[in-house]
Amino acid sequence: MTQREFYTAVIEANINEELVAFATEAIGKLDKTNEARKVKTAEKAAEKEALKAPIREAIYAVIGAEGKTASTLIEEAGVEIKPQAIPSLLKPLIEEGKVIKTDIPVKGKGKVRGYAKPE
């Protein structure tokens, strides 16, 4: 049982006015705390997106019609990120249809995930 559920149960039970008033006040405090958390989380998300945008643009600039691997994109764009970060970084562009995923044959590794601009 969460605190909110407990306080709601106390309010619904209507044992006495003092307990109902306390529970109502406690729920108000919970709402205030949750709202502050939402604002803080939204601010952090906006800051992270602002940091990602220039990197995303630099990588998008080097993507061509032929597919390129994540490590090739990083090298050509001159950014300092790990190849594992490329899928999440390019996700908005993939959803918009500006970038497509493709399989690229690499000698000794078989097929590797790559990214290209749609033709």
Nearest to 60 by CA among 73, 75, 51, 69: 73
pTM of the model: 0.62
Digit-coded pLDDT (tens) for 45-73: 888 888 888 898 988 888 888 888 888 88
Instruction: Mention every residue, 6+ apart, whose C-beta is less than 8 A from residue 107.
Output: none
d(CA 37, CA 55): 28
Nearest to 3 by CA among 27, 38, 28: 27
The sign of the CA dihedral 73, 79, 83, 88 is negative
Residue 115's CB is within 10 A of a number of other CB atoms, namely: 24
Q: How confident is the model at residue 32, as a pLDDT?
A: 95
Write down the pLDDT at residue 24: 93
Give pLDDT < 50 ranges for the chain.
none
Domains belonging to the chain, first-starting first, are 3-116 (1.10.10)
Strand partners, 112: 104
Q: Are 33 and 81 in contact (CB under 8 A)?
A: no
At residue 22, the pLDDT reads: 93
* Under 8 Å between Cβ of 26 and 3: yes
